[in-house]
Every structure is written in structure tokens, then in C-alpha cells.
Chain A
Amino acid sequence: MANMAQAVRMALHYAEEHLGVTDIFGEDVGPPLGGVFTATQGLKTAWNTPLDERGIIGMAIGLAMAGGKPVAEIQFADYIFNTIDLLKVAGNTCWATNGDWNLPMVVKTPVGSGIRGSIYHSHSFDAMATHIPGWKIVIPSNPLDAYGLMISACQEINPVMYLEPKALLRIKGEERIPGEPDNDKLLSKMIDAPLGDRSQWKPQWPELEAYAVPIGKGKVVRAGSQVTVVSYGRTLPLCKKAADDLAAEGVDAEVIDMRTLWPYDWELIKGSVEKTGRVLYVNEDTEVTNFGEHLVRRTVEELFYKLMAPPRLLAGKFIPGIGLADALEMASVPQQGDITAAIRTLAGEQP
């Protein structure tokens, strides 16, 4: 099965062939490297930009204004912060002009911890991104969703923020992307750039399809009856594993992958919490003014009388960065053990 980086690459290939994507660009996005995570290797519209994040977002806005369909990359979300007012402008352009202009543009950026990236390659961006109205915000947790969400992002006529959990970019999927060959080695031979001189290399793309994961739709990745766990990105597979492990202890957890952070699938969450009466929100951004806090607030306001226990949030510690040493990173953002313990505790909590 393809890994997430390959999935993104294949979706972008499909999008430049069939969905009108005109430009895939950013620092080291074009040849020879094809992106620091290889997600843009071999793409015909990929190009390298000056090392200027504000210039990259400005370029995307300008291209979108003049009929282009750009996919811009910020190399690491840690470096997107100096573009925030441009992201705000992109998000408010349609509204500020009372519908005169719209900006069909995608910004993709790797987020989060998990590769021992230390202080400036571990930032999350979900809390910040969900403070910027006018964008649609997606974050996949597996290659198939990564493919399908990128297809949807490229079909959008509004700005889409596509967050790539960097810890998952090299993890292979469990479900096949429609059109993907059976054999992983073959796929790699077809679409991964060779080591060494790449100047003559051209990828051989498989026959791909417009498999789309609709923006705004979450997914129940494990059905359960006693407690709801809502997550996305890097922590989602950890939640799923925790739920599977806890089944042996008699804890039956339902796990929801949000996939889209805005506009998000409240109906799915609500239905589940009404059923279980217990909910744990899990993400790894810093916990103060965290997106999960919004979800907790909404849960309290709308579902209070259905709850058997207080809604909980497990998120990153509110500290200035994620330290490099193993113990520091592990202590800073939710790990497998933290998540399993939190679900176990919540499932057993009695009024």
C-alpha cells in the first residue's frame, strides 16, 4: 500500500491532470527534491520558490485571483506563522468583497510531532488554523483519506488548509487507493524518484481515479458503545489502537476520525456522544485555546443532559516548544499510554 506522501503525490498528479491544478509550489517542492517529504516528486506543475513564506501565500492568492488553481506548500507548519495575516486575507476575501471574489487555493503543510523534530519541526497548526474563518481545514490520518481529501481540496472554490501529520507521511495504508498497483515495490519503482541523478527521470503514474473524501465528513473508524473518542491526525491511529487494546479489558470505545476540522461533522460526534454519554477529545496542539476546547464547550452546551461524565480533552502541554530529547517529546504531546489511560479512566468514571 502507498504511504501518505505517495498518496498525496498521486492525488496531486490526478489534480493537475484532471482538476485544473496549475501550480504546485513552495520551497524545494519542484525537482530535483520534490518536497522534503517527497510528496511532490515528479509532478509536472511543481516548482521551487524563493525562500519566502509570505511570498508563497501571496503568490497563491494572486494565482487564484487570475484563474489559476494553486497548491502552495509551506515546508513545515512551524514556518507558516509569519503568513498569518495573509491567511486571514485569503480567508476574508470573499466575505470582505460581499462575494465579488473567491479564492480557489490549497495550502498544504506538514504538522505535528513524531519525528523528533525539536522546537521548530514539531508545531501543530490546527488550533491556529481554526481561528481563521473563511478556510476549510482538513487533516488526514491515513493514505486513502489523504488522497481523497486532497482530491476534494483541489475541487474546492474556497481556500483549503491541508494539514499533513508528518509522523504519518511515511506510514503505509491499510486500504488501497483506487488505481494503486497491488505491489508496493512496483509502486515505488513507478513513482518514487531514484537516488542520485534524477534529471532524466519521469514517473510512471498508475491509472488513478477521482476518489474524493468529502470535506465536512468525519468517519467512525471503530464502533463502540461506552465511550466516544474523537481525534484526527497523528493521534488518531493511537486512539484506534487504544480502543482495540481496551476491548480486552471490556471497554467498548467508539473512535471518530474528524478528517475535516472546519466545517466539521458535528452530527457524527453528537450522535455518538448521545449514545455513549462519554467523550474524550484528543489532539496534540497546545491545550490552551485548543480546538478541542471548542468541542468540549459545544458538547457541554448541547449535550449536557446526555452526559454520564464530564467531556475531556487530552492535548499537548502548554509549553513553548517540543524538546528534542526523547523524554521531552514524549512528555509534551499525547502518546499511546496517555491515550489508553485517558480512555480507560473516562470509561470507568461514575457520577
Chain B
Amino acid sequence: MPKPRLLNREEESLPLERELLVRMHDLMVKARVLEERLIQMYKQGHGYFWIGGPGEEAFNVPLGLLMKKGQGPAYDYLHAHYRQSATMMALGEEPIGAMRQMKNVVTDPYSGGRNFAGHFSKREWNIAPVSSPIEVQYAMAPGTALMQKRHGGDGITIVTGGDAGTAEGDFASCLVWSSRKGNELPVLIIVTNNKWGISTSAEGQHGETNVADRGKAFNMRTKTIDGNDPINAYLELQEAMEYVRKERKPFLMEAVVSRLYGHSSASGANMVGNEQDCLTTFEQRLEKHGILTRKEMDDLRNRYSEDMAAMARQVIQEPMPGPETIWNHIYAERK
């Protein structure tokens, strides 16, 4: 893996504005507390299944902050997988929606109680629906990107997924369709590499050195980055996005991230302990550089914990969808 573009730990000062650092930290904490709340809801029986993104905040928060938010081809599209809660928080989404989906109540804004946790959808912000089959989003991303290329402007398509899933043909489809000569598409193709697919280690499954290397055969710009460092992730994403926005060509980025609570509730959803926690390391740096004090950070976490505990208490009182609603929205109707 190439070296992170910055920073040994003896750095003089952090290369981003204080305000941005504080904001990123705030969102990382918010997303982490949300995921921990979702796990707790699962463990208390308020939901059938948990899957989410604790451990990916350092990458997913900058991604959301850098996205051009809005509806239609002038804005960025996100085709995500199920670990993208921190991106949603960074885009300004209210955490209560994720809890409603966890509890599958009728107020669930993403699926009306139909889908698993972490399966976001928000057309108003070009958030394509997350669906469970691994990798299908990579086959769709070139479609939104083609509309954007025709539309002009600087809107791009972003697609995310895991490392194991890149073995699916849809990942190859994405590489092929976004790099056709003369028809290159503005797609930021992201792979968050946590080195696992459920229980299967990446070790022994991949002949390529880095997943990102596969883009090279398609004359694509590629990079493997440390996704556990939010400053690095911010700067790398900024550069990659700028390239995709301006050049209207694809970029394949592989971000090495952690999986802090295992794959999902199916594997227990317990803290694993042996992986780097991006929030801990970031907080150490913020403290060391005098950006935030330990107390400020603790207070922040406590505040979010209280807020979200209150939200969860509210959510569990909300009604479930009625059985008659199964017939709703099989087809869209002309308004």
C-alpha cells in the first residue's frame, strides 16, 4: 500500500482548518454514536438485524462533506452499500431515520419498515437505494454517470462497496462501462477495504496486490489510501473528486478501513478490539494539537448519546406498518 500522502505523527500543524476538523470530528462521533445505538436497539430486541459502518467514519464523513448535494444530474449521485451512515450524517441527515429503519416502524423514511438497517434511500439528495445483493450498485453507477456527462456541469457519480464484493462481475462491469474510449464517465469508484467478507479473510482470495490496481488496465487513475485517517481521506477524496468533476473521467479509489463491530448482528455485533479505531486516533491528534480538549470531546459524545437514547425511546413507541401496506408502491403512479 502506498504511504499516506501526509503526516507522520510529529506533524507541526494539521493541514485542514480548525473549523473543518471540529466539524469532521463532530460528525464522526455522531455517526459512531448512532451505530452504537442501533446495535443496542438490536440487542434489546428493537430490530431484527443490524449492519452498518462503525470503523469507516474517517472515510465516510469526508465523502459526505465533499459531495454536491441535491437532486438530478447536476448534483452528485451516491450508489452506496450498507455501511454508509456516516456519509448520510455528513450530508445532514437526521439520525432518527436510521433508528426508524432499525425498528422497522411505519415512519422509516427509507423503506417504510420494509428493509434492513443501513439501507438508505433519498431521492431528494440523489441517494440511490441501498439494496442487499452485493455489488449491483456498481452496474448501475455508469447509468447515472452517463446522464451527468451529457448534462454537463460538474455533478459526478460515486459508488461504494466492499473489498470482497469486487470479485463479482458487476465490479468489472463498472470498470468496463466507465472507461470506454471516448465515452469515459465521471464516476468515483470506491472500494472500502476492511480485509473481510463476513468471515472470509481477503488473504487467499485476491491475486491482485491492491484492488485499485485493477483500474490501471482500464487507463483509470487509481489510488489506495489510508481510510482510517480523516484528514488524509478528506484531501485524497478532494483531489480525486476534483479530477472526476473536471476531467469527466473515472477514478478508482481503494480506502483501507476498519470493521469495528464485525460484519453484522449475525456475527454478534461486538467490538472486535484488534482493529484501528479511527475515532480514537483522530481524537488523540486533535487533543495533541489543541483543537479540542478531552473534556470537550467527552461532552460531545455524552450529548449525542443522550439525544439518541431519547430518539430511540421515541422510535420504539411508533407504530408498525399495517399489513395492508404490502400492496403499496408496487408501481409508481403518475401524479
Contact = CB atoms under 8 A, between A and B. Distances in A.
B110 A100 contact: yes
Contacts of A60: 143
B123 A89 contact: no
Given A64-B143, A89-B136, A98-B328, A54 B173 contact: yes
A157 B73 CA distance: 18
A66 B110 contact: no
19 contacts: A54-B170, A59-B139, A63-B147, A65-B144, A66-B147, A85-B136, A89-B133, A96-B119, A96-B129, A96-B131, A97-B111, A97-B329, A99-B329, A100-B110, A100-B129, A101-B121, A102-B332, A157-B332, A157-B334
Contact of B143 (A65, A85, A95): A65
A134 B326 CA distance: 13
A61 interface: yes
A151 interface: no
Q: Which residue, A65, A68, A89, has most C-beta atoms of chain B within 10 A?
A: A65
Contact of A62 (B110, B146, B169, B334): B146
Interface in A185-218: none
A34 B138 CA distance: 28
A93 B129 contact: yes
Nearest to B115: A96
B72 interface: yes
Nearest to B128: A65
B169 A54 contact: yes
Nearest to A83: B139
Which 10 A-B residue pairs are closest in the complex by CB-CB distance?
A62-B143, A58-B139, A102-B332, A98-B112, A66-B147, A99-B329, A55-B173, A62-B140, A66-B144, A97-B121
Nearest to A72: B143
Contacts of B143: 58-66, 68, 70
Contact of A158 (B111, B139, B157, B332): B332
B328 A58 contact: no
B126 to A, nearest CB: 8
Contacts of B112: 98-99
B117 to A, nearest CB: 14
Contacts of B328: 95, 98-99
A351 interface: no
Contacts of B128: 65, 101
Contacts of A98: 108, 110-112, 114, 328-329
B114 A59 contact: no
B217 interface: no
A133 interface: yes
Interface residues of B, number: 44
A52 interface: yes
Interface in B129-172: 129, 131, 133, 136, 138-148, 157, 169-170
B114 A95 contact: yes
B330 interface: yes
B261 interface: no
Given A66-B72, A96-B111, 12 more contacts: A22-B147, A50-B176, A55-B139, A55-B176, A61-B140, A65-B77, A67-B73, A70-B143, A94-B332, A96-B131, A98-B328, A98-B329
A50 B180 contact: yes
A64 B129 CA distance: 13
Interface of A: 22-23, 49-50, 52, 54-55, 57-68, 70, 85-86, 89, 92-102, 133-134, 136, 157-158
Contacts of B140: 58-59, 61-62, 65
B288 to A, nearest CB: 44
Nearest to B183: A47
B142 A55 contact: yes
B68 interface: no
Q: Which residue, B129, B139, B145, B157, has most C-beta atoms of chain A within 10 A?
A: B139
Given A63-B143, A89-B131, A157-B334, A58 B77 contact: no
B122 interface: yes
B129 A97 contact: yes
A207 B147 CA distance: 29
Contacts of A62: 79, 139-147, 157
Contacts of B334: 157
Contacts of A61: 139-140, 143
A23 B170 CA distance: 21
B146 A100 contact: no
Contact of B177 (A50, A65, A101): A50
Q: Which residue, B138, B148, B177, has most C-beta atoms of chain A within 10 A?
A: B177
A251 B328 CA distance: 45
Interface string B25-69: 000000000000000000000000000000000000000000000
A73 to B, nearest CB: 15
Contacts of A85: 133, 136
Contact of B173 (A52, A96, A136): A52
A66 B75 CA distance: 10
Contacts of B77: 65-66
Contacts of B133: 85, 89
Contacts of B121: 96-97, 100-101
Contacts of B111: 96-98
A346 to B, nearest CB: 35
B151 to A, nearest CB: 8
B173 A67 contact: no
Contacts of B169: 52, 54
A332 to B, nearest CB: 31
Given A101-B129, A133-B330, A157-B334, A67 B177 contact: no
